[in-house]
Structure 1
Amino acid sequence: MSVAEAVEPTTSLAGHNRISTQALTSLAQAAAAEALGVAQGDIRADWTDDDGLLALSIVAPIRIPALGDVLRNPQRVRGMGGSIWDRAVAAKAMVLETVTKLSGSQLSRVDIRISGAHVSEGGRVQ
């Protein structure tokens, strides 16, 4: 029997649990990467104190369809989740929920600054 199995969920053990800033940052980057459709390494996450709660600031690119594809089929924008603005707003909520749920930390807010765009399909016109 493991220690986890031996302890009932309602039992409280003495001691401290701490999640490092690096672990929280990696979690925030992974959540933002999933929400924005880009690589985790392209995302910068910074934390600040907001009256005792954590405020998260994300700077990241966002995945977009090739503009030629959008001109041929404007529905591609809707298929990607809407405008960049709509997707950034939705990503804030997703990142807040994911980080809170997985870390147990309470965030006061998530700010997202879109720093660029990664084209998901197509190539450069030559």
Structure 2
Amino acid sequence: MNGATGLSHAAETPAPGRQYSGHNRISTQALTSLAKAAAAEALGIHAHDVRADWTDDDGLLALSLVAPIRVPSLAAVLRDPGRVQALGGSIWERTVHARAGILSTVTELSGARLSRVDIRISGAHVTEGGRVQ
């Protein structure tokens, strides 16, 4: 997707008795902000820690994300090995689950048609307690 192009849709369902011309456009910046927020929520981190890039994939959008992931401290895991499962499993399992959730959220909220979401975990945000604030 061209960074200046964004996502546009023609007006599809005008109000009864009225016809509207024009189009709606969701900028690449807005899509990127949405993707970063969805990834941050899914990975338990801050949105500013996420990098998002878009590419064209045969007419659909492909989203590539680079981000750290929240993990419990090793001391916390040694005290309570169940902490790993409480967070949703291993880093791999959580990333697979996050990918599906991000794709669903971005598609539902933007109306964009995504072909795939690729995630590269770039590090770990170690936490003792609850979610990152």
Q: In structure 2, which of residues 75, 86, 89 is the aligned counterpart of residue 79 of structure 1? A: 86
Q: C-alpha displacement at 1:71, in angstroms?
A: 1.2
9, 17, 25: which one aligns with 2:24? 17
Bigger strand share: 2
Which runs of structure 2 are paired with 1:1-126 in the superposition (5 Å)?
A: 8=15, 13-121=20-128
RMSD: 1.6
Quick check: 65-74 or 96-105, which moved more? 65-74
Counterpart residue identity of residue 121, structure 2: I
Task: Normalising by structure 1, report the TM-score.
Answer: 0.87
Whole-Å Cα distance in 1 between the matches of residues 65 and 107 of structure 2? 15
Query: Which structure's residues are more often helix, by fraction?
Result: 1
Aligned partners of 1:13 and 1:116: how far apart in 2? 48
Aligned structure 1 segments of 4 or more residues deviating by more than 3 angstroms: none
Gap runs ≥5 in structure 1: 1-6
- TM-score relative to the length of structure 2: 0.82
Report SS of the residue matched to 1:82.
coil
Deviations 1:37-68 (A, max 9, x none): 00000000000000000000000000000111
Q: What fraction of aligned residue pairs are identical, expressed as a percent?
A: 71
